[in-house]
């Protein structure tokens, strides 16, 4: 297990309540959610951690199966998926 260190974040009571509720709904901790958020942001910005997992053979074999339009906006698409998944619209 990786060694961890303490990090203190400051936010409004409303955001803290939302974070606690989200963590409870996901069955995780706020610390784990924060870590996952940072890792995902890093992946989206092109940063590659030296400890990144290798792509498995099945995933690698599926690469290129789907052809997307040139103007496909992955960030917009994923935002729509999250909104629909969580019933926010």
Residue 27: per-residue pLDDT: 92
Residue 24: per-residue pLDDT: 93
Cα–Cα dist 47/22, whole Å:
26
The model's pLDDT over 11-66, given as tens digits with 9 standing for 90+, comes to 999 999 999 999 999 999 999 999 989 888 887 776 665 565 677 888 888 888 88
Residue 51: per-residue pLDDT: 60
Q: What is the pTM of this model?
A: 0.47
Cα–Cα dist 43/41, whole Å:
5
DSSP string, the chain: ------------HHHHHHHHHHHHHHTS-HHHHHHHHHHHHHHHTT---TTPPPPPHHHHHHTTSS---TT--HHHHHHHHHHHHTT--
- For residues 46 and 69, the model is more confident at 69
């Amino acid at each position: 297990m990786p060694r961890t260190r303490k990090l203190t974040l400051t936010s409004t009571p409303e955001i803290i309540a939302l974070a606690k509720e989200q963590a409870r709904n996901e069955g995780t901790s706020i610390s784990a959610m924060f870590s996952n958020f940072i890792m995902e942001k890093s992946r989206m910005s092109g940063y590659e951690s030296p400890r990144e997992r290798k792509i498995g053979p099945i995933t690698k074999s599926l690469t290129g199966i789907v052809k997307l339009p040139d103007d496909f906006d992955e960030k917009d698409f994923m935002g729509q998926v999250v909104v629909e998944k969580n019933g926010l619209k």
